[in-house]
Amino acid sequence: MLSVVVFLPVVVALALAALPATSRPRRYTVPWVATGLVQLALVAVMWRQLPAGGYGFVEQVAWIPSAGISYHLGVDGLSLPLVAMTVVVFTAAAVWSLREDRRPKSYVLLFLALQTVSVGVFVALDLILFFLFFDLSIVFMYFVIAGWGHGARARSAALTFFLYTFLGSLALLLGFILIYLAATPHTFDIPALAAQNPLAAGGPVAGAALLAIGVGLAVKTPLVPFHTWLPPAHTEAPAAGSAVLAGVLLKMGTYGFVRIAMPLLPASWRQFAGVVVVLGVVSVIYGAMVALAQTDLKRMIAYTSVNHMGYVLLGVGAAGLVAGSDAQARQLATTGAVTQMVSHGLITGALFLLAGALHDRGRTYDMSAYGGLAARTPRFAGLFAVAAFASLGLPGFSGFIAEFQIFTGALGAAPVATAIAVVGILVTAGLFLLALSRMLLGELRFPDAPGTPRPFPDLRARELGAVVPLLLLATLIGVVPRFLLDLIEPAARVVNELVSR
Amino acid sequence: MVMMTEDPTTLVPELALLGGAVLAVLVGAWTPRRRQGRVRVLALLAVGVGVVATVVAATRPPSTTFDTYVLDTTTHAVRAIVLVAVALILWWSRDAVAAHPRESEFTALVLLGGLGAVLMAGACDLLLLFAAFLLASVPLYALTGWAKSGATTEAALKYYLSGAFAGVTMLAGTTLLYGAGGTTGYEALPGGLATGAAGPAAVGLVAVLAGLAFKAGAVPAHFWVPDVTDGTPPAVAAVLTTIPKVGALAAMWRLLLAVPDQIVPWPLLVAVLAALSMTLGNLAAFAQTSVLRLLAYSTVSQVGYVLMIIAVGARAPQALPALLFYLAAYTLTNVAAFAVVAAHPARTIEEFRGLGRRRPLLASALVVSLLGLVGTPPTAVFVGKLTAFAAAFDGGMAWLAVLAAINTVASLFYYLRWIAPLFRDEPSGSADGIRESRTARHGAVTAALLSLVLGIAAGLVLPVFVAS
């Protein structure tokens, strides 16, 4: 069943590949939306049937037994919410792209392939399988940015993105090999390695493995100072690409911390948890401050991603500070971190799609070019305000649930760091309010192409269909979070037990 | 204990290559130019016989034949790799060589070059190794000049001169090793070297390695690679950068394992060569605008990764499967990349603009093979690199593995420089009247697919390469 969920998009892509390239865009985009909906239905079934403990829907087939590699899939409370979020974001991107008219065939095929590898990363239970999906996500994303980017700099932004994240993925691979060699018998199987705990004693090898894996994941997350690829990649990518990049691909980094770094290298994680917390707080503050200084809407949202991923790191770092906190606080921090991943995927996906809507109408992301849009485009203004408030962590939205848990969980273990991180929320609140007042209020103004006074229409049905469900889900999690937390909490407890052993 | 035989039937794959070459010359001489296609069919049949014989032979226990030739996993694997590469190249080069005045010579020379490469891999005697070296060199000198244009003549001369120099060095090294060890056979060599003088042994080993490094295109004997690759037709370049490499690297492996590293500290030497090859090959590839020169330097850097495996050969038990798998993966991927170049008249990166639109399948084959050379999963070279890195870590050369990882990232840069224009819009009006090769296009797609299949089926292939 899991294999079906993972590979359904690729199968659909292969079928669509048979269609002639000159077909109408709908021929491709409608099946893409349908694929997402089928996947969603399957994920909903899995959500209901997930066993209380351990992994569900496990599939394991020997792949390269002599190298300890197997095709091993499974979901638990950590991965299933992320799988669900991934499918939702992709489906929103599909609805958004319904009328994509620039080479629609390759566009849809690429996104379908990306959809498969993105779901694959979250359900892989073998390090090499994880790496395979992780790496292919970079390859496909490169083509999305290079092929459908806005500006003349799209290709160089795509290249920067590729080189940077590929370098990170190789560091990741080196770390995986170190863990593999430490285990007897040698294996890349994540549950087997977690049970065996080959590097329980810590030491230089475990430290090196954590450093390599940490760097690899930090590039993807991205953490300061490895974030420099993110703003250009986001600015140049098409709207759906940005939404997927921020909503899904960034989570691969943070998910790697919870799925791989914490359970497989517990001793080193405890040893260096302080460093993780500091990195997280630096990302929170730095991301917020730089976002505050942006005039380009997309760059601003991109930097808030750095800020939001910083909270996740604060949470998982605090979970490693075993000495200073009790089990309940650490579980709260881990649960908050996973919730934040889901929440950020939904909210940032919506924000980037809205930014794309703005670009479609005004051909620029420069915030100073817009003003008073609330009067002209009330639907856009309303949704953008909702997304902005959700993103800054207003109670009633998913971001609040996540950040509240992280802060509560981390406060006992790292009071100073947590206190500093809370300042980040204030800055993000400030910058979003500033953006709202600049763009939505005041005198009406929007860019006008010379000689062609064009209307500035409000959001269309297709755009609403993509953005509204994302924000509805974010609100749902914010108001009745139990359905999500009930899934995450047992898995978070397991991770914390693995870390503290 | 290894069995000794003097049974000629154990050499069917080699004899098939030889017979195919002889038949190609004879039949070619008596066939009208328009019907020369039958020569290729004969050659492919001979290769087919060789493959079947290899598969049959691989089921037998390892043995030595005629005292100087080992039949073990390494030999069988190299036989299979070389035979498949020969078959692929003969097939996809059809459009390029058909109706050429020297069509049958092309076939014969490729077969003889393949025979030399296989013999190098199987030789367990320095004298046979040198004979095989010559057999892998002389036909390829002729093959380099096969197209008989200005550039190929220059390339042939360059290749011949550096080859002659390498050959003399290798022969001198053989003499020194014989003097130090009192024998040319690998089996008795460790005992002989233990009592002989260490200095001459070291110099001799280095000299023999120099000859093999020339065949493999490794630093410091790599200067011929870019000029020869750029000066010859892609089909010839594919042969020169693939087939002798496989034989030479396997020969290096066999020779070095026969020399105890207490007497000559060769692991460090090979590790340094590996580091230099991958780094210099990459650095030189950065600035290239000609795709053939880019591929040439990429082959130099790929040799570096293989040398990394050889450097830990004596210490890491999984080095042998890693080596053979890497060779197989590299061969398929490299043949695919050259086939793409052969399929399309473009020779500079800029001329590949818009290929993705015009020939999506060919462009995909190129993307698969270039990302394969980088080592992106799930292509075969990824598994090769993975096993190579693991072997290097296990063999205590973590620094080399880290350097290899850094080089892998660096290599991305120039491979991507080639990939990027594929999906850009082509300049208008350039698509008319382009002469493309259909067989090369099919060959490129087939080889790229095979490299993917090998990567996914690595679980089935790797155990086969474990020493029996």
B397/B268 Cα distance (integer angstroms):
9
The distance of B458 to chain A (nearest Cα, Å) reads 6
Mean pLDDT for all residues in chain A: 91
Residue B152, both tokens? 């190929």
Cβ–Cβ contact B355 with A under 8 A: no
Distances from the Cα of B21 to the Cαs of A14, A474, B14, B131, B139, in angstroms? 43, 72, 11, 18, 11
A312 vs A451, more confident: A312
The helix/strand/coil state of A59 is strand
A157/A170 Cα distance (integer angstroms):
20
Q: pLDDT grade, residue B1 (50/70/90)?
A: very low
Q: Number of H helices and number of E strands within chain B?
A: 20, 3
The distance of A315 to chain B (nearest Cα, Å) reads 31
Chain A residue numbers with beta carbons less than 8 Å from the beta carbon of B408 are 170
Name the residue ranges covered by the structural domains of chain B.
Answer: 267-468
* B395: closest chain A residue by CA: A181
The complex's ipTM works out to 0.81
Q: Which residues of A touch B (CB under 8 A)?
A: 62-67, 69, 128, 131-132, 135-136, 139, 142-143, 146-147, 155, 159, 162-163, 166-167, 170-171, 173-174, 177-178, 180-181
Q: pLDDT grade, residue A311 (50/70/90)?
A: very high
Name the residue ranges covered by the structural domains of chain A.
Answer: 2-447+454-500
State the number of CA atoms in the 13 A half-sphere of A352 facing the CB.
34
pLDDT tens, position by position, B409-439: 889 889 988 988 887 776 665 554 567 889 9
A22/A299 Cα distance (integer angstroms):
35
State the number of CA atoms in the 13 A half-sphere of B398 facing the CB.
10
Cβ proximity of B375 and B294 under 8 Å: no
Q: What single string gives the DSSP state of each residue in B325-352?
A: HHHHHHHHHHHHHHHHHHHS---BGGGG
DSSP 8-state symbol, A55 = -
Element (H, E) at A336: helix A327-362
Mean pLDDT for all residues in chain B: 91
Stretch among A180-184, A239-243, A277-281, A469-473 having the lowest mean pLDDT: A180-184
Q: Which range, A195-209, A444-458, B330-344, has the best average confidence (pLDDT)?
A: B330-344
Residue A288, both tokens? 């917020």
Cα angle, residue B359 at apex, residues B355 and B361 outer, rounded to 5° = 115
Which one-letter amino acid corresponds to residue B372?
A: G
Chain A residue numbers with beta carbons less than 8 Å from the beta carbon of B321 are 66
Cis check: omega of the bond before A225, within 30 degrees of 0: yes
A449 has pLDDT over 70: no
Q: pLDDT grade, residue A111 (50/70/90)?
A: very high
Longest Cα–Cα distance of chain B, Å, equals 73
Q: Do A143 and B412 touch (CB under 8 A)?
A: no
State the number of CA atoms in the 13 A half-sphere of B403 facing the CB.
21
């097939």: which residue's tokens? B91
Q: What is the mean pLDDT of residues A265-275?
A: 93
List the beta bridge partners of residue A189: A126
A385 has pLDDT over 90: yes
Q: pLDDT grade, residue B110 (50/70/90)?
A: very high
Q: Do A174 and B412 touch (CB under 8 A)?
A: no
A440/A367 Cα distance (integer angstroms):
10
Buried b (16+ CB within 10 A) or exposed e, A394-415: eeebbbbbbbebbbebbbbbbe
- Give the global pTM: 0.88
Residue to substitute from B366, B370, B373, B393, interface A, most A β-carbons within 10 A? B393
Q: Do B376 and A155 touch (CB under 8 A)?
A: no
pLDDT of residue A163: 85
Q: Do B394 and A146 touch (CB under 8 A)?
A: no
pLDDT tens, position by position, B282-302: 999 998 999 999 999 999 999
Q: Do A67 and B393 touch (CB under 8 A)?
A: no
pLDDT of residue B99: 79
Cβ proximity of B117 and B82 under 8 Å: yes
The distance of B165 to chain A (nearest Cα, Å) reads 39
Q: What is the mean pLDDT of residues B145-151?
A: 89
A338/A325 Cα distance (integer angstroms):
19
Least Cα distance to B155 among B52, B214, B237, B271 occurs for: B237
B176/B178 Cα distance (integer angstroms):
5
Residue A151 CA, distance from chain mean position: 24
The distance of A130 to chain B (nearest Cα, Å) reads 11
The distance of B69 to chain A (nearest Cα, Å) reads 29
Which one-letter amino acid corresponds to residue A248?
A: V
A412 has pLDDT over 90: no
Cβ contacts below 8 Å, chain A against chain B, sum to 73
Q: Do B458 and A64 touch (CB under 8 A)?
A: yes
Q: What is the mean pLDDT of residues B327-346?
A: 94
pLDDT tens, position by position, A123-134: 999 999 999 999
Stretch among A51-55, A209-213, B49-53, B165-169 having the lowest mean pLDDT: A51-55
A454 has pLDDT over 70: no
Residue B372, both tokens? 């394969």
Least Cα distance to B274 among B243, B318, B308 occurs for: B308
A432 has pLDDT over 90: yes
Nearest CB to A181; choose among B321, B390, B408: B390
Q: What single string gives the DSSP state of each residue in A194-263?
A: HHH-TTTT-HHHHHHHHHHHHHHHHHHTTPTTS-TTHHHHHHHS-HHHHHHIIIIIHHHHHHHIIIIIHH
Q: Do A174 and B459 touch (CB under 8 A)?
A: no
User: Which residues are CB-contacts of B254 (< 8 A; sequence separation ≥ 6)?
Assistant: B70, B74, B121, B123, B124, B186
Gyration radius of chain A over CA positions: 22
pLDDT of residue B358: 84
